[in-house]
Chain A
């Protein structure tokens, strides 16, 4: 059974800092891993999708890495801005599972 853990649960940093969010999963037999952003009370916005054969993906100030053998992914946010404040969720699409398994999220606050 796939389990996904995100640490820390909450993070507060001053504007301009670079930061890393962590995601770990227990079963390395995955198709891909997807990072999402969720604003309070809203739906999920896809940020990055990493296939199991890839090591990293980049979009603007965001970079996601994947180490399937160790069951870890990180989301790197460069030059953080107050608008980056949100909850960040990682979700794993396991082989044969027909579903996404989510972590509980990291609630990020960027202070001006």
Chain B
């Protein structure tokens, strides 16, 4: 098992810019989810992809979008960055949610 890897680990962006965060899921995991975690809070669900199709979305605006690729990698894109988008972004993958999720180490995004 290779686990879940995320890149980059940290980045700083300016308000109004666009950002792409990347995730490489554990091999064989067809489901990938993205979460946003503000400081001192629990993670909040952004969206989930299953076999390259979005199959669940949380209460986030359309400027948060994603892609999942056949090689178990995925992306989270955020347009028109706002200061409140500053957070730790976590990627999680699963073969089947009944068997739990494996999380990556996260990407710390700071918007200035």
Chain B residues within CB distance 8 Å of chain A: 6, 33, 35, 40-45, 48, 55-56, 58, 88, 90, 92, 97-106, 108
Tell whether, in the assembled complex, residue B48 and residue A43 are in contact, meaning their CB atoms are under 8 Å apart: no
Q: Does A104 lie at the interface of the complex (its beta carbon under 8 Å from any beta carbon of B)?
A: yes
Number of A-B residue pairs with CB-CB distance less than 8 Å in the complex they form: 63
Q: Does A102 lie at the interface of the complex (its beta carbon under 8 Å from any beta carbon of B)?
A: yes
13 of the cross-chain contacts (CB-CB < 8 Å) are: A32-B98, A32-B100, A41-B88, A46-B103, A89-B43, A98-B55, A98-B97, A99-B45, A100-B43, A101-B45, A103-B42, A104-B41, A104-B42
A43, A89, A101: the one contacting B105 at CB < 8 Å is A43
Assuming A44-B90, A104-B42, is B99 touching A99 (CB within 8 A)? Answer: no
Count contacts on A: residues with CB < 8 A to the other chain.
Answer: 25
Tell whether, in the assembled complex, residue A46 and residue B90 are in contact, meaning their CB atoms are under 8 Å apart: no
Chain A residues within CB distance 8 Å of chain B: 4, 31-32, 34, 36, 41-46, 49, 51, 89, 91, 93, 97-105
Tell whether, in the assembled complex, residue A43 and residue B41 are in contact, meaning their CB atoms are under 8 Å apart: no
How far does the alpha carbon of A45 sit from the alpha carbon of B105 in the complex, in Å?
9
Tell whether, in the assembled complex, residue B106 and residue A43 are in contact, meaning their CB atoms are under 8 Å apart: yes
Q: Give the 3 A-B CB pairs with smallest separation, nearest first.
A: A98-B56, A102-B42, A43-B105
